[in-house]
Amino acid sequence: MSTRAAPLSGLPLLEDLGEIGGKRVLLRADLNVPLDDHDGEMVIADEFRIRAALPTVEWLTDRGAEVVCCSHLGRPSGAPDRRYSLAPVASRMAELAPGVSVMENLRFDPGETENDAAFVRRLIDGFDAYVNDAFGACHRSHASIVGPPLYLPSAAGRLLELEVATLGALLNDPPRPFVAIVGGAKVADKLGVLRALAKVADTIIVGGGMAFTFLAAQGRSVGSSLCDEAKIDECREILHGPATILLPSDIVALEAGCSFGHGCQDGEVRIVDGDLPDGWTGLDIGPVSAQTFSETVRAAGTVLWNGPMGAFEDRRFEAGTRSVAQAVAETAAMSIVGGGDSARAIDDFGLAEKIDFLSTGGGASLEFLEHGDLPALAALRAAPNAPRI
* Residue 111 is assigned to a structural domain of this protein: yes
Name the catalytic one among 23, 28, 49, 190: 49
In the predicted model, is pLDDT for residue 8 greater than 90? no
In the predicted model, is pLDDT for residue 53 greater than 80? yes
- The pLDDT score that the predictor gives to residue 341 is 83
- Tell me the average pLDDT across 138-159: 98
**Which of 161, 185, 202 marks a domain boundary?**
161
- Give the tens place of pLDDT for each residue, 90-143: 999 999 999 999 999 999 999 999 999 999 999 999 999 999 999 999 999 999
In the predicted model, is pLDDT for residue 3 greater than 60? no
- The pLDDT score that the predictor gives to residue 115 is 98
User: If pLDDT is split at 50, 70 and 90, which confidence band does 48 have?
Assistant: confident
- The pLDDT score that the predictor gives to residue 39 is 84
Pair (131, 190) in one structural domain: no
Pair (131, 210) in one structural domain: no
SS3 340: helix
42, 74, 143, 257 from 90: Cα distances, Å: 12, 16, 21, 46
Pair (189, 98) in one structural domain: no
| Contacts with 129 (C-beta within 8 Å, 6 or more apart), sequence order | 17, 20, 23, 24, 25, 26, 65, 152, 153, 154, 155
Q: List the Cα angle 311/313/315 in 5-degree steps.
A: 90
- Tell me the average pLDDT across 205-213: 97
Q: Which of 367, 319, 377 is nearest to 340 (CA)?
A: 367
27, 82, 96, 341, 345 from 51: Cα distances, Å: 14, 23, 8, 20, 20
* Residue 384 is assigned to a structural domain of this protein: no
Pair (178, 149) in one structural domain: no
Pair (144, 218) in one structural domain: no
In the predicted model, is pLDDT for residue 5 greater than 80? no
- Give the tens place of pLDDT for each residue, 59-85: 999 999 999 999 999 999 999 999 999
Name the catalytic one among 63, 186, 270, 316: 186
Q: Which range marks the domain in which residue 359 is found?
A: 173-370
Name the catalytic one among 78, 241, 363, 372: 363
In the predicted model, is pLDDT for residue 187 greater than 70? yes
- The pLDDT score that the predictor gives to residue 46 is 86
Name the catalytic one among 223, 340, 361, 362: 340
User: If pLDDT is split at 50, 70 and 90, which confidence band does 363 have?
Assistant: confident
In the predicted model, is pLDDT for residue 156 greater than 80? yes
User: If pLDDT is split at 50, 70 and 90, which confidence band does 4 have?
Assistant: low
Pair (126, 47) in one structural domain: yes
**Cα separation, 242 vs 201, whole angstroms:** 9
- 158 catalytic, yes or no? no
- Tell me the average pLDDT across 341-360: 91
Please name the helix (run of DSSP H) or strand (run of DSSP E) that holds residue 101, with its range, or none: strand 101-102
- Tell me the average pLDDT across 350-362: 91
In the predicted model, is pLDDT for residue 1 greater than 60? no
- Tell me the average pLDDT across 220-233: 97
Check: pTM over 0.75? Answer yes or no: yes
- Percent with pLDDT over 70 in the chain: 98
- 363 catalytic, yes or no? yes
- The pLDDT score that the predictor gives to residue 124 is 98
The CA radius of gyration of the chain, in Å to the nearest whole number, is 22
**For the chain, how many structural domains are there in total?**
2
What is the average pLDDT value for the chain, to the nearest integer? 95
- Are 145 and 379 in contact, with CB atoms under 8 Å apart? yes
- Are 276 and 223 in contact, with CB atoms under 8 Å apart? yes
* Residue 136 is assigned to a structural domain of this protein: yes
**Which of 138, 161, 184 marks a domain boundary?**
161
